Amino acid sequence: MTFTFQSEDLKRDSSKRMSHQHVFPLAMEEDGRTADAKPPHRALDHDKESTRSVCLLEQKRKVVSSSIDVPPARKSSEELDMDKVTAAMVLTSLSTSPLVRSPPVRPNDGLGGSWKEAVGVPSSTSSSGYWSWSAPSDQSNPSTPSPPLSADSCKPGRPQAPPLPDDGIDEAEASNLLFDEPIPRKRKNSMKVMFKCLWKNCGKVLSTAAGIQKHIRTIHLGRVGDSDYSDGEEDFYYTEIKLNTDSVADGLGSLAPVSPSQSMASPSPFPIPESSRAEICAKTETKLMTPLSRSAPTTLYLVHADHAYQATPPVTIPGSAKFTPNGSSFSISWQSPPVTFTGIPVSPTHNHLMGAGEQRPQHTHTVLSSPPRGTVSLRKPRGEGKKCRKVYGMENRDMWCTACRWKKACQRFTD
DNA sequence: ATTGCCGGGGG
DNA sequence: CCCCCGGCAAT
């Protein structure tokens, strides 16, 4: 954080003191105290200008670099975490009787919503040889202090290629590969996975994904034909639930960050723009998943929404399909009937341009406009864009606009 | 925890 | 007026 670049030099030869904080005032319009040092020439002006821009640049760079620096650190700690988690899981699975066979799907990467591809053949008895969950190898080297680079601490021993390259939509897979996240993270055996239809007043529960998909397709969606064809729409209408002891509440990871309430007026039921599903996946797995999976092991009845779009919007199902795992508050439901999205869930095309543009909520405030107008507060809604403080930072306080310096509403960056 | 800024206070 | 800060609310 040293501001030892041009400005220091400049200041040194142009003026007297150098206090750490007041390095920057140089170019301010209001007080021309730099003028005394030398007759103001274009050169100096130029200097000032460039210096100022350098300041800004510098700051930008600081930001960038910090954001670059961070990830590795976090990563390593994450890896350690993962190790712990895996170890824990291994232990758990060892101590638990391998009663139930391994579930047909990998529960964790489900957010992509297309794991069904990975599962492949819809066989009800897919006990699956090749998911063999290489626990021993994990255990054999539990320490793994620091795997070089982004090594996958989860599957040390064997490559264990992802099931099937299959076809397109496999974003989850792709993202996993991209992010070097521990891909398979298979579930332990002692867990029964069921699939529950979320359709209004249906609540049918089947034991296989294919089954439930077929059910939805035929019964609810009214698809004809033998319907091998699935556009993935069914994914929205069922969810995976786990019954059983098996502690580790990983399924909740994806559900947790749901905000408890959302007005129906909101135009898009999906606060999260689908476009960045990959990121979401990764994030969910890493930062949300991990901490959560360790907490709250008490549930016996877990709901696992495989699809981000399913889980994320705080929807509410009217009648049925309401899970209350422990009595603790948790419910999935569905307020706006399936009509909301037809065909393809959410077009992955609409990216929101982050960073540059401001996207406003743009609500259509219906009729409720003026509450009690007489009240005092009337606080400004809070400015949107960055303000002087944010832009220049505390250390360059004298670059702020006056209002900002006085802690008043910013005048330079008005909204 | 950080940031925007209102309300109020001292000169 | 100018200048500053306590403290609150939103993030």
One domain for residues A51 and A108? no
Distance CA A135, CA A137 (A): 5
* Cα–Cα–Cα angle for A363, A258, A357, rounded to 5 degrees: 40
Residue A362 in any domain: the answer is no
* Residues whose CB falls within 8 Å of the CB of residue A84, separated by 6 or more in sequence, listed in order: none
pLDDT of residue A215: 76
Supply the pLDDT for residue A414.
Answer: 72
Which of A274, A305, A340 terminates a domain? The answer is: A340
- Per-range mean pLDDT, top range of A18-27, A55-64, A403-412: A403-412
Domain that holds residue A183: 96-128+164-340
Distance A415 CA to C4 C1' (A): 25
Q: Is residue A139 part of a domain?
A: no
Residues A250 and A329 placed together within one structural domain of the fold: yes
Whole-number Å distance between alpha carbons of A196 and A238:
5
CA atoms within 13 A on the CB side of A216: 26
DSSP A298: T
Could you tell me if A271 and A346 are in contact, meaning their C-beta atoms sit under 8 angstroms apart? no
- Tens of pLDDT along A111-143? 333 333 333 333 333 333 333 333 333 333 333
A177 and A311 inside one domain: yes
A260 touches strand C (CB under 7 A): no
The number of distinct structural domains making up chain A is 3
Q: How far is the CA of A375 from the C1' of C10 (A)?
A: 19
- Assess if residue A360 is contained within a domain: no
Residue A409 lies in a domain: yes
Task: Indicate the residue type of A74.
Answer: R
Q: What would the DSSP string read from start to end of A100-146?
A: SPPPSS-SGGGGBS-HHHHH-S--TT---GGG---HHHHHHS-----
What's phi and psi for A110, nearest 5 deg?
-60, -15
Provide mean pLDDT across the span A32-42. Answer: 33
- How far CA A317 is from CA of A88, A214, A237, A301, A320, in Å, comes to 35, 21, 11, 18, 7
Residues A344-401: pLDDT tens digits?
333 333 333 333 333 333 333 333 333 333 334 456 666 666 788 888 888 788 788 8
The CA–C1' separation of A267 and C10, in angstroms, is 23
- Average pLDDT of the residues in A30-48: 33
Q: What's the rounded mean pLDDT across residues A151-179?
A: 35
Same domain, A296 and A411: no
Tokens representing A285 are 């797995």
Asked if residue A274 and residue A321 are part of one domain, the reply reads: yes
Mean pLDDT along residues A215-231: 67
Q: What's the confidence (pLDDT) of residue A160?
A: 35
Positions of strand B less than 7 angstroms from a protein CB: 3-8
Are A33 and A170 found together in one domain?
A: no
In angstroms, the first-to-last Cα distance of chain A is: 30
Do A224 and A308 have their domain in common?
yes
Q: Do A169 and A29 fall within a single domain?
A: no
Beta bridge partners of A240: A195, A304
* Domain annotation covers residue A190: yes
Backbone phi, psi, residue A281, to 5°: -55, -55
At A305, list the tokens: 């929404």
Residue A390 CA distance to nucleotide B10 C1' (Å): 28
**Which domain-ending residue is among A340, A374, A396?**
A340
Q: Which of residues 388-407 of A touch strand C (CB under 7 A)?
A: 402, 405-407
Judge if A296 and A189 occupy the same domain: yes
Rounded Cα distance between A302 and A324, Å, is 9
User: Closest Cα partner for A10 from A57, A60, A52, A39?
Assistant: A52
User: Cα separation of A115 and A231, whole Å?
Assistant: 13
A34 and A168 both lie in a single domain = no
**pLDDT given for residue A384 in this prediction:** 67
Q: Is residue A309 part of a domain?
A: yes
Q: What is the mean pLDDT of chain A?
A: 43
Q: Are residues A112 and A204 in the same domain?
A: yes
Q: Which residues contact A281 (CB under 8 A, 6 or more apart)?
A: A109, A111, A112, A171, A172, A175, A176, A181, A308
pLDDT at A191: 62
Extract the tokens encoding A344: 């393809």
* A347 within some domain: no
Q: Reply yes or no on whether the pLDDT at A193 is more than 60.
A: yes
Same domain, A399 and A265: no
- Which residue, of A45, A63, A81, is where some domain finishes? A63
The Cα–Cα gap between A207 and A85 comes to 28
pLDDT higher than 70, residue A260: no
In 10 A of CB A362, how many CB atoms?
6
Instruction: Tell whether A197 is covered by a domain.
Output: yes
